[in-house]
Structure formats: structure tokens, C-alpha cells
Amino acid sequence: MRNRSRKRRSPLWTRLCLIIGIVLTLGSGSAYAGTVLVADRFDHAVRQQDLLGDGSSRHSRTVTGPLDILLAGSDLRSSWKATGELPRADTIMWLHVTASLDRAYLLSIPRDLEVHIPADARTGQGDSTTKINAAFPYGMRDIADTAGGMQLLNTTVQQLTGARFELAALADWDGFTAITSELGGVRLCVDKTFVSRQPGLRGEKFTAGCHHYDATRALELVRQRYVYADSDYGRQRMQQQYLKQILTRATSTGVLTNPVKLNRLLDATNRALTMDLNGYRLSDLALALRRLTPARLVGLQIAHRTLPDGNEGLVQPVDDELFAAMRDDTAGQYLARHPSLVSHGPGTGD
């Protein structure tokens, strides 16, 4: 039986914070991993919790590929700490790093995808078919139990995709804003001038072409959804463009060779992320992933179809070949045969 929940406007732009924080923290290692002091700083650059529900290995692990990482961003607001309202995971991503550790595929899982959420023994919730973003609150005993939410989300995504995740990260919006500010904003491109119809941003005008945006303005652009003919897919493309621009700025504006800037950026990353490193040292990951550049991060779109009953839900087609290719580390070959699943360009046309 389908469990319907009320519609909620949610900040899907938190998805970018996930990868930005990880890659900024890890990518920085190429310049500093040989320094014991800085390596220790990396290892404490993010908060750590058991997000996967497997006890998180306490034994040191050697970094070998491939790596599968579960990424989530919730719509938690500080005001909810007083009301007790539980957040949802409105950003869900699977980051697959290839065996060579120099290329990665980023697959966004739509928040409205209808799946079976397993029962959670801790909360008594779940065992229902509904939108996948409900797995997060179903796993929470209270507003502070974000680790429990991630654990049930992990179980749900594993059941959907067949993947076994070795690391996980949960993003916080305020930290993402700080990261963008520390980098001095970003340059983003849109293909046509439009006026925002996004709730809370109505009337804001964005001009066609490539422009430099400060943190606030850039995030307003990344939140846009209703100007795209394909709705959230269009937003995903803009977010992926935004991600690559931030990673490019982080590696080309002297941040990695300036101890003061790097320290501020790591502080922002600490505010942005909670991670389950599962026995890996962040500095070891940094060194292992030093060849993973923005150009080698490929954004993917999951195939889906809309439910026929007008409830705005989505269902996964019977074809799970993309999931299998990600699991088997053959995504490159699969995408060569199915290039339409690769995200391309900003695109704001109706």
C-alpha cells in the first residue's frame, strides 16, 4: 500500500555540497599529503559518524579502487529543532570512482522515485512503497538522529541499485554557502534570459551568457527548476556545471598553495559535511584521488518514467543495466552505447 506524504518545497541544491566538500578536501591532498601536520588536518577536516549502519571499520584500510560512495543532503532547517519536524533526504547521489581512481561517475537518484523502503527495527517505520526521500525520516528516532536516517537510506538505495557503499557523506547547506564564498563565487552560463518562477525567488532575472556570480546569487540560479522543460533534470545539469566550476576554482586560484585560504576552506568543509570514512584516512584518500579532476567527473541522469495517476511520483523502469554497469565498473563502456544518460550543458530553454 502506498504511503503518501504531503508535498514539501525542498532545497535540492544541497546535492552539490556533497561532492564539493569531498573533492575539495580530498583533492587538496595532492599539494600537501607529504606533510604530517597538514595530513593530520585533513584527517580531522570533517565530522565522522556511522552513516552506513555497519559499525564503521576502526581498522586502517588501504585505498584501492573502485570506490562506491553514498551521498545525501537533507532539507533540515534549524527551526525544526524546536518543532521536532523531521527532514527528508531530497538529494541522493551515488558516486562511483573507477578502479583506476582517476575517473568518477555521479548518478543522481530522483527524490520522487517510488521504491519499497524496508522496515526499520529502531523506529518501527518503513515497510512501505513511497518516494525514496522518505527513507531518511523513517530511520530517525528524533531530530538529532541523522545517522539513523542515513542508515535506512543506505539500506533502501542498496536494495534499489544492488550497490554496496564503502563510504558515505551527509551535507549541510550552510557549509556549502561558506565554501562558495571562500572561493569568491563562480562563473556560470545560461543559454537564455529568464525570470525566476521558483518559490521564494519570483521575479529574479538571470541574463543569458556566462557571468560571475557571488555565493548568494549563484545558489539562487542553482535552485531554479521551473524554467526547464525537463524540470529537475535541467536543475541537475546546472548543478553539475556549478560543481565543476567550483572544483576548477579550488584547484586554479591558489587555494591549495595558500595555507590561510586552505585552512578557511577546510573549516567550511567541516561545517558542510559529516562522513562515514569506514576505516579510510582522509589524507590517504586525498593522495589516492589526486588525479580525479573536474573534467573526469561525469554527471549521469537516471532513466525513469512518471506515474500515471497524477501524483508526481516516478518509477524506475525494468531496465537496471546502468546500475549493473556502475557496480561492475563498466560504466564507461555502457555510456558509450547510451550517451543520452550523460548530463550535458546548462540548458534553460522551455
Backbone angles phi, psi at 96, to 5 degrees: -110, 120
- pLDDT for 90: 72
pLDDT digits (tens, 9 = 90+) for 248-299: 787 776 776 677 777 787 777 777 788 898 988 877 887 788 788 777 888 8
153 grid coordinates: 537510506
pLDDT digits (tens, 9 = 90+) for 152-204: 999 999 999 999 999 998 876 555 677 788 888 989 998 889 888 877 677 78
CA distances from residue 248 to 77, 82, 196, 253, 255 in whole angstroms, order as listed: 30, 39, 27, 8, 11
What mean pLDDT value characterizes the chain? Answer: 77
Confidence band (pLDDT; 50, 70, 90) for 342?
Answer: confident
Mean pLDDT in residue range 15-40: 47
Contacts of residue 309, Cβ cutoff 8 Å, sequence gap at least 6: none
Confidence band (pLDDT; 50, 70, 90) for 75?
Answer: low
What angle is formed at CA 88 by the lines to CA 179 and CA 78, rounded to 5 degrees?
55
Contacts of residue 106, Cβ cutoff 8 Å, sequence gap at least 6: 19, 93, 94, 95, 240, 297, 298, 299, 300
Please give the Cα distance from 32 to 36 (Å, whole number).
9
Contacts of residue 325, Cβ cutoff 8 Å, sequence gap at least 6: 331, 333, 334, 335
Just give the CATH number of 14-182+255-341: 3.30.420.590
154 grid coordinates: 543506505
pTM above 0.85, yes or no: no
Q: Could you tell me how many residues make up the chain?
A: 350
For the cut 80, the answer to whether the pLDDT of residue 8 exceeds it is no
Please give the Cα distance from 224 to 219 (Å, whole number).
9
pLDDT greater at residue 62 or residue 309: 62
Pairing of strands 297-301, 104-108: parallel
Number of other residues whose CB lies within 10 A of the CB of residue 264? 16
